Amino acid sequence: MDNRLRQIVIVGGGTAGWMTAATLSRFLKNGYTTIRLIESDEIGTVGVGESTIPQINNFNRSLGIDENDFVRKTQATFKLGIEFANWGKIGDRYFHPFGPYGQDMEGVPFYAYWLKMREIDKSLSLEEYSLQCLAAQHNKFMRPINAGNSPLSAIAYAFQLDAVLYARYLREYAETRGVKRSEGKVVDVALRNEDGFVDSVTLESGERVEGDLFIDCTGFRGLLIEGALKTGYEEWNHWLPCDRAVVVPCESGRGLPPFTRSTAREAGWQWRIPLQHRMGNGYVYSSAFTTDADAAMTLLGNLEGAPLAELRVLNFTTGRRKKFWNKNVVALGLSSGFLEPLESTSIHLIQSGVARLLQMFPDRRFEQVEIDRYNRLTTFEFEKVRDFLILHYSATERSDTPFWDYCRTMSIPDYLRDKIDVFLSRGRVFRENEELFTDTSWFAVMVGQNLRPRGYDPLADVMTDSMLRQRMRNIKTTILNSCNAMPAHRDFIKKNCAAAPLPEASVAGQLLAN
């Protein structure tokens, strides 16, 4: 008996819908199934400019996407990491880079040696031992080249892009590979009597669309996963109290920084995402500690250029669905849950969700053991990203506003408490069970936000002080020379992947959509 899925229906477009459609159309070839995406132009998307992490390169390679073409058509820039300002205390600034610090030696992590050296020199900089940090400071960028053991051979990077243009780019990719798009709003969801699975959706036009597998990309409302299946939602507002964002694009400044900036404000934080044609800005805040009007004034008072559209306010509840896959519905994107974009994980969580679906791709029998595994792994990923975000709020010395008093003194998950306690002992950090963020990421934020270990890994003493000083000097010099060899970020884009100017008629539409 042929139990293959005959029809996959994706409800909702935007980044989540079209990432899903592009991926499925790439791998479900040779007439395996039909894929239909339903979206309405009347329903706006949340996209306000997206910032990504390096795993997006795996996504692009799996789809066979030409990077220069992708960068041009999404008005993208390159990204070497995230700069955090005012998080540990007002006036602080640190950088969370993509890629490692220094070089591990004698089987001991580099950061153990750095902690040892800092006991000798309290002013020792961590960022001088990261190529991404130095290049970001000097607005430089290049792709990795074949340069032997040089840091230039392993430059990790991501992208900053226009979310609406990205969805359009992926739509063209998917439709070229057979995905059928239907315009219209879903007004009814029919369930099967025998098992409660979704049988069909009905459009405003009256058309009834049947499917075997439904992908819910309808945003916060979760039309299928919640509206029809009543799956339930686990809120995390206790640990991540921000519940709103005010957003607006503005004119770009003179520079074109290859990094996203997150600046802590009185009741949350402000992002700055530089694109080729504009700057994306938003203020994520807690409505319990400030008003929408004050948040708008804070954002407008801290723009680097003139605003290009009206401000928009977005409401959200941080957390996740109690099941990401329920019966024959898989929720992706905002339908699956929401983690604020403090570490640029939104697109990655869509990407990993689609990849996990392909790993456990069902037929019409929908084996529960596979659904349970999908939910277990996705829950782990969401929770560990959550804990990493909580670290930014809880590891602070700020006491200047009620918001930061709350964050500094709130209880935190046991997993995060254990991470912090282990670090405070000897500066050790570990990546566990393939969690998303590496030991380098944890170390960057912990050191950047002024957590100070009581000691360092005793194995760092296998190297004498004089030998260590020489090795550290060599590493620092190598990274500086590598940075000096890199071109300016703007020049690299101009030479390889500069976007054509948007037609005047479409500029307003892009800004309103974003």
Q: Over the stretch 280-295, which tens digit does the pLDDT of each residue have? A: 999 999 999 999 999 9
- The sign one gets for the Cα dihedral 40, 44, 48, 54 is negative
Q: Which of 305, 332, 366 is the last residue before a domain boundary?
A: 366
Are 30 and 43 contained in the same domain?
A: yes
| Better-scored residue on pLDDT, 510 or 98 | 98
- What is 248-267 written as a DSSP string? EEE---S---SSEEEEEETT
Q: SS3 sequence, 63-93?
A: HCCCHHHHHHHCCCEEECEEEEECCCCCCCE
Neighbour count for residue 143 (Cβ, 10 Å): 11
Are 334 and 307 contained in the same domain?
A: no
Are 108 and 202 contained in the same domain?
A: no
% of the chain residues with pLDDT over 70: 96
Are 109 and 212 contained in the same domain?
A: no
Tokens at 117, concatenated: 């050296």
What is the spatial distance between Cα 513 and Cα 120, in angstroms, rounded to a whole number? 53
Residue 508 is assigned to a structural domain of this protein: no
Residue 406 is assigned to a structural domain of this protein: yes
- Note the pLDDT of residue 501: 78
Q: Over the stretch 347-378, which tens digit does the pLDDT of each residue have? A: 999 999 999 999 999 999 999 999 999 999 99
Are 322 and 347 contained in the same domain?
A: yes
Q: Over the stretch 211-249, which tens digit does the pLDDT of each residue have? A: 999 999 999 999 999 999 999 999 999 999 999 999 999
Confidence check: pLDDT of 451 > 50: yes
What is the spatial distance between Cα 214 and Cα 328, in angstroms, rounded to a whole number? 6
Residue 262 is assigned to a structural domain of this protein: yes
Are 333 and 345 contained in the same domain?
A: yes
Number of domains in the chain: 3
Mean pLDDT rounded to a whole number for the chain: 94
Are 454 and 392 contained in the same domain?
A: yes
Give 179's pLDDT tier (boundaries 50, 70, 90): very high
Confidence check: pLDDT of 303 > 70: yes
Are 329 and 214 contained in the same domain?
A: yes
- Note the pLDDT of residue 510: 40
Angle at 13 between CA 8 and CA 19, to 5 degrees: 75
pTM: 0.95
Task: Look at residues 175, 221, 194 and name the one whose alpha carbon lies nearest to residue 11.
Answer: 221
Mean pLDDT, residues 173-186 taken together: 97
Task: Look at residues 444, 441, 385 and name the one whose alpha carbon lies nearest to residue 416.
Answer: 385
Residue 496 is assigned to a structural domain of this protein: no
Residue 434 is assigned to a structural domain of this protein: yes
Residue 505 is assigned to a structural domain of this protein: no
Confidence check: pLDDT of 44 > 60: no
Give 1's pLDDT tier (boundaries 50, 70, 90): confident
- Note the pLDDT of residue 30: 87
Domain that holds residue 418: 97-155+385-490
Task: Look at residues 151, 150, 148, 18 and name the one whose alpha carbon lies nearest to residue 80.
Answer: 151
Q: Over the stretch 476-487, which tens digit does the pLDDT of each residue have? A: 999 999 999 999
- Note the pLDDT of residue 509: 38
Are 290 and 430 contained in the same domain?
A: no
Active site residues: 79
Tokens at 290, concatenated: 């400030």
Q: Over the stretch 111-164, which tens digit does the pLDDT of each residue have? A: 999 999 999 888 899 999 999 999 999 999 999 999 999 999 999 999 999 999
Are 202 and 262 contained in the same domain?
A: no
Are 329 and 441 contained in the same domain?
A: no
DSSP letter at 224 equals I
Give 506's pLDDT tier (boundaries 50, 70, 90): very low
- Note the pLDDT of residue 503: 58
- Note the pLDDT of residue 45: 57
Residue 82 is assigned to a structural domain of this protein: no
Q: What's 331's domain CATH number? A: 3.50.50.60
Are 311 and 322 contained in the same domain?
A: no
Residue 341 is assigned to a structural domain of this protein: yes
Neighbour count for residue 86 (Cβ, 10 Å): 20
